[in-house]
Amino acid sequence: MECNIIRMGRLILRSPHSQHARNRWHKRMDFRWFTPIHKGTFLIAFLALSTWAFSQDNINQTIRLSGNMTLTTKGLSTFPNLTLGKPAALFDFSIGSGKFRFDPTLRFGLDGKPWTFIFWLRYEPIKTEKFGLRFGAHPAYSFKAIDVVHNGKTSEGLRAYQFLAGEIAPLFKVAENITLGPYYIYSRGIDHDAVQNSNFISFITNFTQISLAGDFFANLMAQVYYLKMDTRDGSYFNSALSFNRRNFPISVSSTINKAINKSIPGDSFLWNINLTWRFGGSFKKEGSAPTLKTVRTNRISGR
């Protein structure tokens, strides 16, 4: 590839292939690309990390740090414009304490090109045995391949589309292993040629710890959702089924997404197979803020 281009805000980067090109590239670098959404990304990350690190209220509380890495046969999204449609690697992380947590997600094609970056900051003011309520907000970046003509030659580049979104997620526990509830996301496109307004409304049901033979169990998620993207809309069915083993960090799962009726472009039926490795642990803060001392209290298994 002769020229890799990533456009974020007003920044365009071209891979320098000579010393002369490098010199021109360095002269052109400035910080005009640091648009409000980029500032928002760093602000959310800073708030997420500092909330528990410097709060007197969080002293001696447990810090949760977890994540999972997934290889999938096809990168899917409930938002058709964000579907990759080919093999991908997904990296999901979560760090939090008390009612706050920071959940970044980094997704790449297996060719190493970025697919989507999402940086959730979530707040859970209510969490009881029977009911939970969560609010969240994030900046996100979606990368698309584009053709670029430079000095009469065509090469492939990447274009980054920018979004801001918020979520509301009440959750009801109706049985020991069954939870359900509505879920709403609003997303605003920052770039003028991106989807400007997206409304996602769903009803989700989760069945967890479905016993199979021996130490094996399954988890099932099913949801129906309505999606409106600017003037187009559609109704869909989405489900994920995973097979797990207790105290074992690797699981196998499959996801399907089926359109019921739609005017949004995209395939009417998509499915994939996923291999996931989960990891993480819990740590305890000791001492007085802002000093932070961590000790491992337990290890999260692949459940």
Summarize the confidence of residues 118-147 as an average pLDDT. Answer: 95
Token duo for residue 125: 């003011």
Indicate the SS3 state at residue 129: coil
| pLDDT tens profile 43-85 | 555 555 555 554 545 556 788 899 999 999 999 999 988 899 9
- Which of 23 and 265 is assigned the larger pLDDT? 265
Distance, in Å, from the CA atom of 35 to the CA atom of 32, rounded to the nearest integer, reads: 7
Other beta carbons less than 10 A from residue 208's beta carbon: 16
> What domains, with CATH codes, occur in the chain?
5-299 (2.40.160.40)
Burial 240-253, CB ≥16 within 10 A → b, else e: bbbebbeeebebeb
Which range has the worst mean pLDDT, 9-23, 114-128, 174-188?
9-23
pLDDT of 2 above 70:
no
Summarize the confidence of residues 255-276 as an average pLDDT. Answer: 97
pLDDT of residue 122: 97
pLDDT of 269 above 70:
yes
- Which of 138 and 23 is assigned the larger pLDDT? 138
pLDDT of 100 above 80:
yes
pLDDT of residue 24: 45
pLDDT of residue 157: 83
pLDDT of 86 above 60:
yes
pLDDT of residue 174: 97
302 closest CA partner among 61, 70, 62? 70
Summarize the confidence of residues 252-276 as an average pLDDT. Answer: 97
Token duo for residue 223: 């949801």
Which 8-state DSSP code applies to residue 61?
P
Contact criterion met (CB below 8 Å) for 69 and 91: yes
pTM of the model: 0.77
pLDDT of 247 above 90:
yes
pLDDT of residue 41: 56
pLDDT of residue 35: 52
- Which of 97 and 259 is assigned the larger pLDDT? 259
Other beta carbons less than 10 A from residue 17's beta carbon: 10
Cα 106 to chain centroid, rounded: 7
Q: Is residue 158 very low, low, confident or very high in pLDDT (cuts 50, 70, 90)?
A: confident
62 closest CA partner among 102, 98, 103, 100? 98
pLDDT of residue 250: 98
pLDDT of 229 above 80:
yes
The number of residues in the chain equals 303
Contact criterion met (CB below 8 Å) for 257 and 282: no
Helix (H) or strand (E) segment spanning residue 38: helix 36-53
Average pLDDT over all residues of the chain: 82
pLDDT of 268 above 70:
yes
